[in-house]
Amino acid sequence: QAYRYRRYLEAAGRPERVDLRSFERQGIQQIPTVHLGPAAHQMEKRGIETFLGNLNRDIRAANSLMQSC
């Protein structure tokens, strides 16, 4: 599937590339965020906090702390 994404990005002249490996396999010291889904995304967009939105905020805060050390 990553091959298909890469092919579309290259055809569109975009510099981005897709890597489906985990952060660990890529050597990235970061906790991945979780997918919100459309319902939670819309709620967050309207200013309504959700469990997954709060979880992602906590993950981003932890990642920020890990990068500053």
Q: Which of 16, 64, 56, 60 is nearest to 37 (CA)?
A: 56
Q: What is the pLDDT of residue 31?
A: 96
Whole-number CA gyration radius for the chain: 16
How far is residue 38 CA from its own chain's centroid? 15
Q: What is the pLDDT of residue 12?
A: 96
Q: What is the pLDDT of residue 69?
A: 79
pTM score, whole prediction: 0.74
pLDDT digits (tens), the chain, 69 positions: 788 988 999 999 999 988 889 999 999 999 999 999 999 999 999 999 999 999 999 999 999 999 997
Q: What is the pLDDT of residue 2?
A: 80
